[in-house]
Amino acid sequence: MSPIPRARKTVGAQASLSGLGVHSGNQITVTLKPAESGQGLMLVRTDVGRSWPLSVAAVTPATNCTAIGDSEHSVMFVEHLMAALWAEGITDVVVEMDGSEVPLLDGSARPLLDLIRRAGCRDLKDPVEPLVVREPLHLGDETRFIAALPSERTEYAYLLHHPHQLIGLQFTSFRPAEDDFATELAPARTWGLAEELQQAQAAGLFKAGSEANALVVYDDYYSAPPTLPQEFARHKLVDLIGDLYLIGRPIVGTVFACRTGHTDNHQLAARLLGDE
């Protein structure tokens, strides 16, 4: 199976948004700027004068999110932005930040998708070759795993099995050629258990974490009604798609994950690049 080249894209104009960093509690501005063809997805921290490619090689350790950077500086929570860039087919862009985290905003990818759409998209002269899954890849064990399988039709799927009675067993899938990211995945919010958020805040993390930027699950109720069916699994799928877009180009194949997280996604992305 030969990949069909696709047009590279950048944003059509500069656009910005600002929001609260949940770790720092500071207002942080994200600005998208057009890039040249082949420049790729670039991240710039203007407050410290550092820049990195939004790539697998630049992933740095972080808790419950994806971070890009080095041993001295980084930017956390890039996964929702990456998913939105993937959804709009953006292959080349400069993302400027004046802080250490992408604001969570309402906890979904929707505000970042809206930002990209406000900036617009512009085709570039060069094509991008999709990464084609040619051999089955599998990471994990019988309790949690992530796999990539050859397929002429791209599909992402996630199975969530959580012990909390209000979450339980959830499954969702997404086919880019048929389904609509803006309505079926983008509104799905970051979620977490109330006790986990309380423990993190007691440890000095998530200073500005609240029901405004996450769907919080209490013992017998949600902080707000879920906006989508299977919303918890749908958000895990947003994270998966965003993390795999650190490859920098679309994937042709089927990716299926069960009870996995960011580290598993990064490992699969690295394996896919290594097996080309």
Catalytic amino acids?
A: 262
For residue 77, what are its two tokens?
């929570």
CA dist 88 and 11 (Å) reads: 9
Per-residue tokens: 208: 């500005």
The torsion angles phi and psi of 193, rounded to 5 degrees, stand at -80, 145
Q: What would the two tokens of residue 42 be? A: 């670039």
- Identify the residue whose tokens are 């799927």: 157
DSSP state of 202: H
Whole-number Å distance between alpha carbons of 111 and 132 = 30
Q: What DSSP element (H or E) covers 199?
A: helix 194-202
Residues ≥6 apart with Cβ < 8 Å to 34:
10, 11, 12, 13, 14, 93, 94, 122
- Judged on CB neighbours under 10 Å (0-12, 13-18, 19+), 25 is exposed
DSSP label at residue 80 = H
Q: How many CA atoms lie within 13 A of 26 on its CB side?
A: 11
d(CA 22, CA 15): 22
Q: Are 150 and 1 in contact (CB under 8 A)?
A: yes
